[in-house]
Amino acid sequence: MSELKREIARRRTFGIISHPDAGKTTLTEKLLLFGGAIQEAGAVKSNKIKKTATSDFMEIERQRGISVATSVLSFEYRGKKINILDTPGHKDFAEDTYRTLTAVDSTIVVIDVAKGVEEQTEKLVKVCRLRDIPMIVFINKLDREGKDAFELLDEIEQKLGLKVVPLSFPVGMGQNFQGVYNIREEKLLVFEGGSKQKLGERKVFTDLDDPDLKNYIDAELLEELKENLELVREVYPPFDRELYLEGKLQPVFFGSALNNFGVQDLLDCFVDIAPPPRPKKADKRIVYPDEPQFTGFVFKIHANMDPKHRNRLAFVKVVSGIFERNKSYYHVRLDKKMKFSAPNMFFGSKKQVVDKAYPGDIVGLHDSGNFKIGDTLTEGEKLMFKGIPRFSPEHFRYINNEDPMKSKQLAKGIDQLMDEGVAQLFTLNLNNRKVIGTAGALQYDVIQYRLEHEYGAKCSYEPLQIWKAFWIHTSDPDSEEYKEFLRVKQKYLAKDKDGLPVFLADSPFSVQMVKNDFPSVELMEISERE
C-alpha cells in the first residue's frame, strides 16, 4: 500500500454542528480529552482563573461565551488522525458553518436532551442532507431532566427527516441518571459523576444479570432498560454502515459531555465507521483523494489569529495528493505559482509548521491578500472546486468612518474581514456608499470590535431598509430590456466585493415586479463562486 493510500485510510475529518448551547464546544473539548490531546478540560487558561474551552480563541468569543469562528483541532487516536472542525452554533454565524460543511467528510449533530431539535439544527442538517454527508447524532446533557429517549428519537426522525438507529441507550435521566448501555458493544457504563475536567475510571458491566449491578443501578431502572432494549430491537433497523456512509441512516448516542460520559463510546464508534476523505466535485471532473497530484481549496480565511502579529491564514482542505512545504503550487484564479515556507496544522489556537499534509487534512497558509474563499490550489491543472456558496444576507447597514485620519486602516480592515467571509460588502452604484450585509445582527458588533482592536479603525452604522440581496444574471447584457432594468432600478443596484452586479430589493413585492417587468433578468439568492 502506498504512503498516500495508507494516510488517506487513517484520516477522519468531521464537523460538529448544533443549535447554540447544546454543548457542542464542550463535546469537542471532551473528544480531545479522550483522544489524549489535552490533559484537562478548559486547557486554555486566561489569567489562570477563568477557564475557556480550547477551541474558542478569539477575544470576542471569550467575552460572549460563544464560538464565532470555526476552529480546527487535530489529534491522533487509535492509529487514526482525527481532524475536528468546530463550527459556530450561533445562527448569526451560519454562513461560516455552511462553508465549513464543504470541507468535512462527515458530521456529528449535537442535540440538547431538554430542548430537542431546535431551529438552527434543522437548517444545518438540511445542508448536510443536500450533500449526503454521513451524520452521527449525540444526545447531550443526560444529567439534566429532559425528554423521553423514544420521544427524542421520533422528533429527530420527523423534524430532521433522518432515519435513526440508537447505538446506545440511557438508564434514567436528570437526578435519576445512572448510566448508558452501549448497544453496539453490549456493555453497560455506570454513571458516577466525578471530575469534569479529568478522566476517571469507568465501571463497566457486560452482563445485565450480573448480581453486582444492583449496587449501582436501581432494580426498576434495570428492568426498564431491558424492556427498552427489546423495544429498540423491534422498532429500529440494525446498523448498516453502507447506508450510514450514503447519508441514509444515522446512528444515535446518548451521554453527558460535561461529565465525560458517553463520549468515548461515541469516539470509538466514530473512528470505526466514519468515512475517510471522500471525492469532491470540481467544475470539470470529480477529484479522488488517492490521485497523486495535489489539489485543495480555501474554505475559510481568518485574519489576525495572533493579534500581536498582523497575519491572515487561509484554511485549505487537502482534497487529493500530498501537500508539501516549499513546493510550488498553482493558484488557479490568479493564474500564478506560489510557494509556502511555513504551512501550519492546528491544535486550537496553537499552530505548528508541517512538512506534509494528506487528503482530509486542513492546512493553514499565511496569506498577504492572495486568497479568497473558494480559491483552488493544484499542481498545474486548471480546475475549480464548486459548491462554496454565498447566501443573501438578512441584515443590511451603511458603514461610516468615524475617524477620517484612519480611512486607510478602515478600508484595509473591511477588505480583509470580507475576504474572511465574516460578512458581505456591497458598493452602491449611485453614490459609492458601502453597505455591509450579514446573516445576523451580532456580526456588526464583531466587525466593529475587530476593526477597532485589530486595525485601529472606528466605524458606525446607519440603518438601511433592504429586504434581501440578489445576484443578477442575464443571458444578454446588451439587450434593451436589461438596459431598461438598470435605468429603472439604479437606486437599488450595487456591486459585491468581486464586482458582480447585485440588486438590493427593499421588499418581496419589488422582486415580483422585476420578474414581471423584466423576465430575462434572473435574480439569485445564492451565488456559487465560479
- Residue 456 C-alpha cell reads as 485601529
Angle between helices 480-488 and 508-517 (to 10 degrees): 150
β pairing state of 424-428 and 468-474: unpaired
Highest mean pLDDT among 376-390, 432-446, 479-493: 479-493
Cell of 488: 429603472
Going by their DSSP bridges, the two strands 203-205 and 187-190 should be labelled as: antiparallel
- Asked if 255 and 201 touch (Cβ cutoff 8 Å), the reply is no
d(C-alpha 374, C-alpha 129), whole Å:
21
Lowest mean pLDDT among 16-25, 100-109, 209-218, 314-323: 16-25
As a whole number of angstroms, the distance between CA 523 and CA 73 comes to 39
**pTM to 2 decimal places:** 0.78
Question: Mean pLDDT of all residues in the chain?
Answer: 85
pLDDT of 335-386, one tens digit each?
999 999 999 887 655 678 889 999 999 998 988 778 888 899 999 999 998 7
List the one residue out of 466, 463, 446, 462 whose CA is nearest residue 454. Answer: 446
Overall average pLDDT of the 470-499 stretch: 92
Q: What is the mean pLDDT of residues 102-123?
A: 89
Which of 472, 457, 456 minimizes the C-alpha distance to 505? 472
Q: Percentage of the chain with pLDDT > 70?
A: 86
For cell 445485565, the residue is 208
Residue 44 has pLDDT above 50, yes or no: no
In one-letter notation, the amino acid at residue 200 is G
Angle between helical axes of 24-34 and 263-273 (0-180°, round to 10): 80
| Mean per-residue pLDDT, 149-158 | 94
Nearest to 254 by CA among 184, 170, 150: 170
Residue 520's pLDDT is 92
C-alpha to C-alpha distance for 104 and 387, rounded to whole angstroms: 13
CB 506 within 8 A of CB 491: no
Nearest CA among 66, 125, 72 for reference residue 350 = 72
Closest CA to 166 of 148, 179, 188, 149: 149
What lies within 8 Å, CB to CB, of 349 at 6+ separation is: 44, 54, 57, 71, 305
Write down all domains in the chain, each with its CATH number in brackets: 3-273 (3.40.50.300), 281-374 (2.40.30.10), 389-528 (3.30.70.3280)
The answer to whether 343 and 353 have CB atoms below 8 angstroms apart is yes
Query: 284: buried, middle or exposed (CB in 10 Å: 19+, 13-18, 0-12)?
Result: exposed
Cell triple for 453 = 482592536
Kindly tell me if the per-residue pLDDT of 152 is higher than 50: yes
**Terminal CA-to-CA distance of the chain, rounded, Å?**
36
Please compute the mean of the pLDDT values over residues 159-182 and round it to a whole number: 91
For 369-451, strand residue ranges (E) read 376-378, 389-391, 395-401, 424-428, 434-438
Task: Convert the pLDDT of each residue in 390-399 to its tens digit.
Answer: 778 889 999 9
Residue predicted with more confidence, 421 or 232: 232
Query: How many Cβ atoms sit within 10 Å of the Cβ of residue 471?
Result: 18
Query: For position 62, what pLDDT does the model report?
Result: 56
Taking the C-alpha atoms of residue 117 and residue 232, their distance in angstroms, rounded to an integer, is 20
State the Rg of the chain over Cα. 25
C-alpha cell at 65: 461565551
Which pLDDT score, from 0 to 100, does residue 43 have? 44
Using left for φ > 0, alpha for ψ between -120 and 50, and beta otherwise, residue 186 falls in: left
Q: How many CB atoms lie within 10 A of CB 61?
A: 21
Measuring CA to CA, how many Å separate 484 from each of 285, 488, 501, 513? 39, 6, 15, 13
Residue 511, pLDDT > 90, answer yes
Q: Hey, is 217 helix, strand or coil?
A: coil
pLDDT in the model for residue 48: 31
For residues 506 and 85, which has the higher predicted lDDT (pLDDT)?
506
pLDDT tens-digit map of 281-338 = 998 899 999 999 999 999 888 765 555 555 678 889 999 999 999 999 999 999 999 9
Contact in structure between 301 and 309 (CB atoms under 8 Å): no
